[in-house]
Amino acid sequence: MENQLLSDRNVDFLLYEVLGAERLCELAAFREHGRETFDLFLASARRMARQVLMPSYRRMDAQAPELRDGRVRVHPLMKEIYPQLLSLGLINATRPAAVGGQQMPLTVASLAAAYLMAGNGSAYGFLGLTSAAAHLMEAFGSDWLKTEFMTRLYAGEWTGTMALTEPHAGSSLADVTTRATPTEGGYYLIQGAKIFISGADHDLTENVVQMTLARIDGAPPGIKGISLFAIPNRRHEAGHLVPNDVHVAGAVHKLGSRGIPSLILSFGEEGDCRGWLVGERERGIAHMFQMMNEARIMVGMGGVATASVAYHEALAYARTRPQGRAAAARDPQKPQVAIVEHADVRRMLLRQKAIVEGGLSLLATTALQADLAAHAEDAPSRRRAALLLDLLTPVAKSFPAEWGFESNVLAMQVHGGYGYTSEYLPEAWLRDQKLNSIHEGTTGIQGLDLLGRKAVAEGGAALGILQEEIALAAKRAKAAGIDQAWCDGLGEAMTTLMELTQHLGAKGLAGDVEGMLLHSADYLALVSIVTVAWQWLLQAAVAREALNSGRAPTDFYQGKLGAAQYWLLTELPRAKLFAELCRSGEDSYARMKSDWF
């Protein structure tokens, strides 16, 4: 049976039974839309993902793009895929008609993208990066930049990248040293090097535009001195594209995500690399971060998608692979049973389901907040959504990377010895998933962002909103007849989280920033478990309501209750341990010295 990538039934459940996505169409921004347009959009993505992307996945994984004579050649299949992908109109799906878009809610567009990423994440990558680059230009670019770059990017005529990382600086953007020297011609001369730039060169389109962080001559050191530039690989001169002194200095060989090249770029080796300032001078980081929520949501969605496709593969395998017999009845004369009959295999599958569907729910909820933050009718609603969006984003980015990776490991484990071989697919998705804890801000960076900024911003306002949402979900769950203990468990964890955050915030205000942030990894784990528990309590409430109403078939809803129970009784109790570590400030690694290791 064909791998479904994501469960359509579950996506529909999330959109229409849990999130009530049709209500978005009451907002002016989405007035043109309705469930029909949502479903059409999703249907075309599903079809493309299953019929075009997934069948190409393994071959693109096995044969990574080649770097020859300084130019990158993608896999031949990618050349067939790219125009088909463009036809979905994904690059600017969420953008307004003024720039050729459909103003599709991100809630819907990100779920559509999830199918594509589950089918072939690298193939989707070319579009995702282009979308982000164009969006930066739309938000901050001059008219000329929009005409020259944005329009072509949104059309997929050229593609875009995010060129932040430098070899010596890694996560430390304050240490970016790429230089931009102003000229009379309205452009800057760029000199520097970038590394790990996905899709920075290829032969799919005639040009690539690198959205690059650089420092204008004389700018202050650190984050404050960084500006954002558009640097095309080729530039227009007299109506023709000519080389812009952007060179591919090398390719890195990645463990996974192998369909899209990761490149080392060198700007200005010949002193003639031209870049155009995007937005304000020395506001590069701010501009970039304004787009960061969306980029991180898409990375998180990719992580969920990668866990999802593996989960579905493992589930199909477990249902059809005969092996062994029940522990209580080991008659070797009886035929073997499908391994899904073994409790420990069901444990591995249920954990995957809880991670995948809990993660998808978290991601869709985060995307919904992004839609509301941008388009809710009144300012208080937009502010509320924006606060919640900011809080949820580091979790939405890192939960799939960490728990999703564990889910991918389990999908492999369900396959036994076969899972360890490239004759089966789970090992490839495991390799792909690993990237997500590293790029677009490592998990460590997400933890610092969450605790150091998001949780304590505006006096902890965002956590207050989360607490309200959890209380609402608990009320609904109780009314539907969900076990009181499930609701109480989550309520207590949320209270613990609030108190802990006040405690840590006070520590930071008192000047002990290191102490406040010491257990940021544990804090991130705590918030991740609690927010996913919120999603599961909500899903359980909806499922119970459906069962109460006698709606059939019941299997789907029973499965939801099973996974909710699993998360709330098995994973949520860990929240207390993480909170205790944060509160006590357990100091083993604080005290360790380099020479003690």
Active-site residue flag, 206: no
Which is closer to its own copies, CB of 154 or CB of 317? 317
Per CB under 8 A, does 168 bind its own copies? yes
Per CB under 8 A, does 444 bind its own copies? yes
Q: 3-class SS at 47?
A: helix
Per CB under 8 A, does 423 bind its own copies? yes
DSSP state, residue 336:
P
Short-list 255, 596, 591, 176, CA closest to 427: 255
- Phi first, then psi: give them for residue 48, nearest 5 degrees: -60, -45
Per CB under 8 A, does 240 bind its own copies? no
For 105-146, list the strands marked E by DSSP: none
Short-list 530, 521, 311, 312, CA closest to 404: 311
> Which one of residues 87, 269, 514, 551 is an interface residue with its own copies (CB under 8 A)?
514
Which is closer to its own copies, CB of 369 or CB of 407? 407
What is the b/e burial string over 5-37, where b = at least 16 CB atoms within 10 angstroms of the residue's CB?
bbbeebbbbbbebbbebeebbebebbeebeeee
Per CB under 8 A, does 507 bind its own copies? no
Per CB under 8 A, does 439 bind its own copies? yes
Q: 3-class SS at 71?
A: strand
Q: How many residues bind its own copies (CB under 8 A)?
A: 103
d(CA 219, CA 417): 57
Considering only the stretches 89-97, 370-378, 413-421, 456-464, report the one whose residues sit in contact with its own copies under the rule CB under 8 A. 413-421
C-beta separation of 248 from 263 below 8 A: yes
Per CB under 8 A, does 310 bind its own copies? no
Considering only the stretches 241-249, 425-433, 454-462, 534-542, report the one whose residues sit in contact with its own copies under the rule CB under 8 A. 425-433
CB of 49 vs its own copies, minimal distance in Å = 21
d(CA 235, CA 594): 49
Which is closer to its own copies, CB of 173 or CB of 368? 173
Residue 243 belongs to what H/E stretch? strand 240-243
DSSP state, residue 341:
G
Per CB under 8 A, does 527 bind its own copies? no
Per CB under 8 A, does 583 bind its own copies? no
Roughly what angle, to the nearest 10 degrees, separates helices 343-375 and 292-320? Answer: 160
CB of 151 vs its own copies, minimal distance in Å = 32
C-alpha pair distances (Å), 39 with each of 15, 47, 107: 10, 12, 12
CB of 195 vs its own copies, minimal distance in Å = 7
Per CB under 8 A, does 255 bind its own copies? yes
Subset of 19-38 contacting its own copies (CB under 8 A): none
Among the options 440, 468, 514, 580, which is catalytic? 440
DSSP state, residue 113:
H
- For the record, the structure tokens of 534 come out as 């919120």
Subset of 318-357 contacting its own copies (CB under 8 A): 318-319, 322-328, 330-333, 336, 338, 340-347, 349-350, 353
CB of 229 vs its own copies, minimal distance in Å = 20
> Which one of residues 405, 429, 523, 536 is an interface residue with its own copies (CB under 8 A)?
405
> Which one of residues 422, 484, 495, 548 is an interface residue with its own copies (CB under 8 A)?
422
Q: 3-class SS at 24?
A: helix
- For the record, the structure tokens of 375 come out as 């388009």
- For the record, the structure tokens of 525 come out as 């784990």
Subset of 107-166 contacting its own copies (CB under 8 A): 165
Per CB under 8 A, does 488 bind its own copies? no
CB of 140 vs its own copies, minimal distance in Å = 23
Subset of 178-207 contacting its own copies (CB under 8 A): 195-196
Per CB under 8 A, does 574 bind its own copies? yes
179-182 and 208-216 strand pairing: parallel
Which is closer to its own copies, CB of 93 or CB of 339? 339
Active site residues: 440
